[in-house]
């Protein structure tokens, strides 16, 4: 039984993805369920923000205001993500009719997409530093709002769309769900210490909430992929672009983070793909929304693999307590 529970925890993200994708496929295959579609879509739209707010609130209760400060790897990460996005945007503007435009813009979106709001949960689970991830999440959201607002009106000219309007739309989309849980957590920390202590005891709850939110997100992503009606070759290029972007960002993130490599890898590699899908639909070619669903699959598969590796390591240490984490710096604390 214990082995089954450990397996379930390690691969819960993959299980959630399978359930989410299967749920939509079952819905699509059963016409009798189709009338419930509008209600289900509205329900998901209402439930997801509540789940994310609750998850972030519990996670942010672990972070002190004094811990929110920039580190060296933050600036490196911002330079890499913003710099490559800008370079690719210039290439697209110079060759707007190129067949490579959609794959290039897919990479651009994968790079500039902000860190997932759930990243702090995964980072904590892997033994990383939640505070540094929260700080980077705030910084990359600011950078995304600025740089996307600068380039999108040039890439997709539209009457009435300028920097100010794009910037306001992006801020309105990402900041309420990011800043409000953080402020609420800090208010509870200082005004209701008993409640705060109780929340700190809910250690695994954010992870389970995230699994449910992921299941809903994958169901929506599956719908987008199923309804894809363009060239299948282009879908292959988008799939490849999302996979390579995911691998690159986890790799470079771990490189620039050094002793904080767990946090930096997650901060760059784990993305707010719901925002990516919204960004594509709102400002760019709707076909690019597919890359958000595909990226979500890649980064959650990698996260599941990391959890499985951590579970194996933990089981080994439990069997050999004399050589446990305390003896070598501790995998459970990211080696620092």
| pLDDT at residue number 56 | 81
* Angstrom distance (rounded) from CA 127 to CA 137: 18
Reading the chain (336 residues) residue by residue, the pLDDT tens digits are 566 656 666 677 777 778 888 888 888 888 888 888 888 878 877 887 888 788 888 878 888 888 888 899 999 999 999 999 999 999 999 998 888 899 999 999 999 998 987 788 888 888 888 889 989 998 998 899 889 888 888 888 877 778 888 888 888 887 777 788 888 988 999 899 899 899 888 777 777 887 787 788 778 777 777 776 667 788 889 999 999 999 999 999 999 988 889 999 999 999 988 788 888 878 888 788 888 888 988 888 888 888 878 777 665 445 554 444 333 333 333 333
| pLDDT at residue number 327 | 36
| pLDDT at residue number 50 | 83
| pLDDT at residue number 287 | 81
Host H or E run for residue 313: helix 289-319
| pLDDT at residue number 315 | 53
Going by C-alpha positions, the residue among 139, 119, 128 that lies closest to residue 207 is 119
> Angle of helix 163-191 relative to helix 273-283, nearest 10 degrees?
150
> Angle of helix 37-60 relative to helix 163-191, nearest 10 degrees?
50
Contact 295, 271 (CB under 8 A): yes
| pLDDT at residue number 209 | 80
* Angstrom distance (rounded) from CA 23 to CA 43: 15
* Angstrom distance (rounded) from CA 210 to CA 223: 20
Going by C-alpha positions, the residue among 55, 217, 50 that lies closest to residue 134 is 55
Token output for 23: 């749920």
**DSSP state, residue 37:** H
């Amino acid at each position: 039984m214990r082995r089954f529970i450990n397996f379930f925890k390690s691969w819960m993200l993959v299980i959630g993805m399978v359930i989410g994708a299967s749920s939509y496929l079952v819905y699509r295959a059963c016409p009798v369920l189709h009338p419930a579609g509008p209600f289900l879509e509205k329900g998901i739209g209402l439930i997801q923000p509540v789940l994310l707010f609750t998850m972030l609130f519990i996670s942010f209760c672990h972070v002190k205001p004094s811990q929110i400060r920039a580190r060296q790897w933050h600036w490196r990460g911002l330079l890499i993500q913003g710099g490559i996005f800008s370079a690719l945007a210039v290439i697209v503007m110079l060759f707007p009719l190129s067949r490579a435009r959609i794959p290039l813009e897919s990479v651009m979106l994968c790079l500039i997409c902000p860190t997932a709001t759930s990243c702090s949960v995964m980072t904590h689970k892997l033994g990383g530093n939640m505070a540094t991830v929260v700080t980077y999440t705030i910084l990359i959201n600011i950078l995304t709002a600025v740089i996307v607002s600068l380039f999108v009106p040039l890439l997709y000219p539209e009457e009435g769309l300028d920097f100010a309007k794009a910037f306001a739309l992006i801020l309105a989309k990402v900041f309420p769900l990011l800043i409000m849980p953080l402020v609420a957590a800090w208010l509870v920390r200082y005004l209701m210490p008993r409640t705060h202590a109780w929340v700190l005891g809910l250690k695994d709850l954010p992870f389970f909430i995230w699994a449910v939110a992921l299941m809903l997100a994958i169901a929506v992503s599956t719908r987008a992929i199923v309804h894809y009606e363009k060239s299948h070759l282009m879908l292959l290029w988008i799939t490849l672009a999302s996979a390579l972007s995911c691998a690159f960002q986890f790799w470079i993130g771990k490189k620039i983070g050094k002793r904080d490599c767990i946090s930096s890898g997650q901060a760059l590699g784990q993305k707010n793909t719901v925002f990516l899908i919204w960004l594509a639909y709102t400002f760019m070619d709707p076909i690019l929304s597919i890359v958000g669903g595909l990226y979500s699959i890649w980064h959650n598969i990698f996260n599941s693999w990391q959890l499985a590796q951590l579970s194996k390591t933990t089981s080994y240490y439990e069997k050999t307590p004399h050589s446990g984490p305390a003896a070598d710096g501790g995998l459970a604390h990211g080696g620092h």
